A and B are shown apart, each in its own frame.
Chain A
Amino acid sequence: MSTESNGKNERLKHINFGGVSRREFLKTTMKAGVVVASSEYMLNPSQSMVQQVAMKSGAEEFVFAYISDSHLLARGKEHRFARALTKAVEDVNAMKPQPDFILYGGDLAQLGLRDEFSLGKEIIAPLKPKLYMMVGEHDWYYDMGEAWKEFFGKPTCSFDHKGVHFVVLNSILVEDYWSEKKMTPMERMLFMAQLDNPRGRPFTVGEEQRKWLKEDLAGVGRGTPVVVFSHSPLYKYYRPWNFWTDDAEEVQALLAPFKSVTVIHGHTHQVLTNKIKNVVFHGMLSTAWPWPYAPEGIPRLTVQMDRADPFNQFDGTGWGTAAVTARGKIDKTYNLWDRNPMVVSYEKLLTVKEQVAGPSY
């Protein structure tokens, strides 16, 4: 509910190449950290500069894409959320070259129903590269993950790709409050689905998974870059909206010995950047709608996106890519539909001192 936001002025402006070579331009902009709209960056955001350079610089560098938080309702392919996911799938399929793999970041469904999963599976079927599915609370709490697991397999796994160790967690576990209250499955689902639920329970990774993670990481060399996919942020941002992982410190401790760790998380539906000790955290965009920034606790590294125009369903939503550098660091691109793309490079995170001002909510 906004008139034209003054924040628009703060949006980073198009950078003209002038006489600078593309390579130099990239170097500069990567140092500048947040880059918007290179002239080369066209309809097909895969051809972003970040990616092109990454592809040129060495065998170990690669790009993966993400799509997240589509919140599908079983209302057919013409429903706005289904149209948005379709758009993301088309965008990723148009990437040249194709990403090494795709992460789906959780909350494919809105109410954890089979019809929602089957619609989602149909829409994402055309994706060509390998797809890793992660679970979100909207996928889980109708039947405690039963249908999701049937559709997409195990919610927790790890794999290695081009020298990087990837971990996929189910980080939306909460303590059982429903048995005592004799909630029906749908009551439980709706209870979890409400972001501003004052009686909501905080997410956890849980003891069992932390134990699994410890064992999984035991075989990984300290110098190996580690990338963790988690639906919840794996840190503590804003408790009233469950932008929060209650055992975040324990999980972070397991990741502490590693030289290069990046967490890519869903759930927050916004451009969000954080760094705690050795761990860098990047949020993923939702294809469905943007959440407002929380009234407090916004990590200081975050360059906040402007409020979206509710007339425009593609404003403040989108998908993105991550370019893994030779050093195992990640340069994250937010492909905001109907805005220019934003790149948050690892280099930039090292140089930011002040909180970046943004809109208030």
Chain B
Amino acid sequence: MGIPYKIFLCFCLCLATLPYAAKAEDSSVDNASNDLRQSREKAVQVVTACDGRKKVIVEGCQEGEAMPEQKARKVAELLMTLMEFCEDEIIAKLPKTGMFIQLSVNGMPYVTVGDTEEIPLILVHGGKAHTEREKKIWAAEMNRMITEGYALFHSPGLGKNGISCDMCHPDASNTHPETYPKYQTQMNKAVLLRDMINWCIENPMEGDKLAEDDQKMKAVEAYIISARAGKKLEPGKH
């Protein structure tokens, strides 16, 4: 999504705000709607997305006044994020200064978010941010799975001839999980990463292959995928 597109979107959004004043009169009387009603009294400008369900109240900017370009971009980005994510009615307040945005989903009380990237997290949780406890659990459990995979990957236990995965794949190099499904000439068919893991277990490592739903298989996959995340992909070379 290039900058010209964003500028175009800004322009559309500005057009969309014109009939706003009339609509605002009909709004219901919850907190967020009160904000909208007061919009003309305060120095705010309200920008509505083309679906009519997402609105941004831009503080420190008069109705009809041309926003500074940076601000306009911010508004456009915010509206796009909101529109991409859900169908709900959302009102966002963009403060005059500072980075905190306030969001009200379907008339619920406002929640504060630091950045547009946090918005999806807020929205899935019905307006509540994840707690530190939740985040710690998730990280620990994910790491447990990866660590289990790391241990399997680095020990000869998956095979029977003393060979382990890391002997050919230090740091999971040459595994390229992002390239599957693909045709593997060793099996002469299109396969998934887990098929190749099993092939390696049976062939170079001379062991017994794992069931596809074996926790060990999942763990090995978890390690490989996490170790290779963000690595450069060069089609034709893998």
The chain A residues found within 8 Å of chain B, CB to CB, are 1-7, 73, 75, 79-80, 110, 194-196, 240-241, 289-292, 295, 307, 309-311, 313, 359-361
In the assembly, what is the distance between CA of A295 and CA of B173, in Å? 8
Given contacts A311-B186, A360-B237, contact A196 B161 (CB under 8 A): no
Q: Does B200 sit within 8 A of A, measured CB to CB?
A: yes
Which residues of chain B from 5 to 51 have any CB-CB distance to chain A below 8 Å in the complex?
none
On whether the beta carbons of A7 and B237 are closer than 8 Å, the reply is yes
Query: CB distance B170 to A241 under 8 Å?
Result: yes
**Given A80-B161, A360-B234, CB of A292 within 8 Å of CB of B170:** yes
A292 and B161 contact, Cβ closer than 8 Å, known pairs A5-B237, A307-B174, A360-B237: no
In-complex Cβ contact of A1 among B171, B174, B234, B237 (8 A): B174
Distance, CA A80 to CA B203, complexed state (A): 11
Cβ A4 vs Cβ B185 within 8 A: yes
Across the interface, do B168 and A310 meet the contact criterion of CB distance under 8 Å? yes
Q: For window 151-200 of chain B, which residues contact chain A by CB distance below 8 Å?
A: 154, 161-163, 166-171, 173-176, 182-186, 196, 200
Which chain A residues lie closer than 8 Å to B186 at the CB level? Answer: 309-311
Contact A195–B170 (Cβ < 8 Å): yes
- Looking at the assembled complex, report how far the CB atom of A298 sits from the nearest CB atom of chain B, in whole angstroms: 13
> Contacts A241-B170, A292-B168, A360-B232; is A75 near B161 (CB within 8 Å)?
yes
A-B contacts, 30 of them at CB < 8 A, read A1-B174, A1-B196, A3-B183, A5-B237, A73-B162, A79-B161, A79-B162, A80-B161, A80-B206, A110-B162, A194-B154, A195-B167, A195-B170, A196-B170, A240-B171, A241-B171, A289-B168, A291-B170, A292-B169, A292-B170, A292-B173, A292-B174, A295-B171, A307-B174, A309-B186, A310-B203, A311-B203, A360-B232, A360-B238, A361-B174
Closest to A111 in B: B162
Residue B230 interfacial (CB < 8 Å) = no
Question: How far apart are the CA atoms of A358 and B167 in the complex, in Å?
Answer: 21
- A194 nearest CB neighbor, chain B only: B154
The residues in B between 223 and 238 inclusive whose CB is less than 8 angstroms from any CB of A are 232, 234, 236-238
User: Cβ of A313: which chain B residues have Cβ within 8 Å of it?
Assistant: 204
Bound complex: CA of A2 vs CA of B196, how far in Å?
A: 10
Chain A residues within an 8 Å CB radius of B204: 310, 313
Shortest Cβ distance from A216 into chain B, in angstroms? 34
Rounded to whole Å, the gap between the CB of A306 and the closest CB of chain B is 10
Q: How far is the CB of B205 from chain A (nearest CB, A)?
A: 10
Chain B min CB distance to A64 (Å): 28
Give me the interface of B with A, judged by CB distance under 8 Å: 154, 161-163, 166-171, 173-176, 182-186, 196, 200, 203-204, 206, 232, 234, 236-238
Q: Which of A3, A75, A194 is B182 in contact with, Cβ under 8 Å?
A: A3
**Which residues in A have their C-beta under 8 angstroms from that of B196?**
1
Collect the chain B residues with CB atoms within 8 Å of residue A75's CB: 161-162
> Given the complex, which residues of A lie within 8 Å of B237, measured CB to CB?
5-7, 359-360
Bound CA–CA A172/B162 (angstroms): 23
Give the chain B neighbours of A2 by CB distance below 8 A. Answer: 174, 238
Give A290 to B236 CA distance when docked, in angstroms. Answer: 21
Query: Min CB distance, B108 to chain A, in Å?
Result: 46
In the bound complex, do residue B170 and residue A1 qualify as a contact, i.e. CB atoms below 8 Å apart? Answer: no
Contact B184 A3 (CB under 8 A): yes
In addition to A196-B171, A360-B237, 8 A-B residue pairs with Cβ atoms within 8 Å of each other are A1-B200, A2-B174, A2-B238, A73-B162, A291-B168, A310-B168, A310-B200, A361-B173
Residue of B nearest to A79 (CB): B161
> Which residues of B sit under 8 angstroms from A295, Cβ to Cβ?
171, 173
Residue of B whose beta carbon sits closest to that of A316: B168
B164 to chain A, nearest CB (A): 9
| Known contacts A1-B184, A311-B186, A313-B204, A6 near B236 by CB under 8 Å | yes
**Contacts of B169 on A, CB cut-off 8 Å?**
292
- The answer to whether residues A3 and B185 also contact, given A292-B173, A361-B173 and a CB cut-off of 8 A, is yes
Give Cα A318–Cα B237 distance, bound, in whole angstroms. 24
User: Considering only CB atoms, which chain A residue lies closest to B162 in the complex?
Assistant: A73
Provide the bound-state CA to CA distance between A290 and B169, in Å.
10
List the B side residues contacting A5 at CB < 8 Å. Answer: 237
From residue A260, how far is it (CB to closest CB) to chain B in Å? 34
Could you say which residues of chain B place their CB within 8 Å of the CB of A4? 185
In the A-B complex, the 6 residue pairs with the closest CB atoms: A196-B170, A73-B162, A195-B170, A196-B171, A361-B173, A292-B173
A309 proximity list for chain B (CB < 8 A): 185-186
A1 to B154, CA, bound (A): 17
Cα distance A158–B173 when bound, in Å?
38
**B residues in contact with A79, CB < 8 Å:** 161-162
B27 to chain A, nearest CB (A): 57
- Report the nearest A residue to B199, measured CB to CB: A310
Rounded to whole angstroms, the CA-CA distance of A227 and B37 in the bound complex is: 87
- Inter-chain CA distance A5–B184, complex, in Å, is 11
B182: nearest residue on chain A (CB-CB)? A3
Distance A302 CA – B200 CA, assembled complex (angstroms):
28
**In the complex, what distance in Å separates the CA atom of A116 from the CA atom of B171?**
27
Q: For residue B104, give the distance in angstroms from its CB to the closest CB of chain A.
A: 46
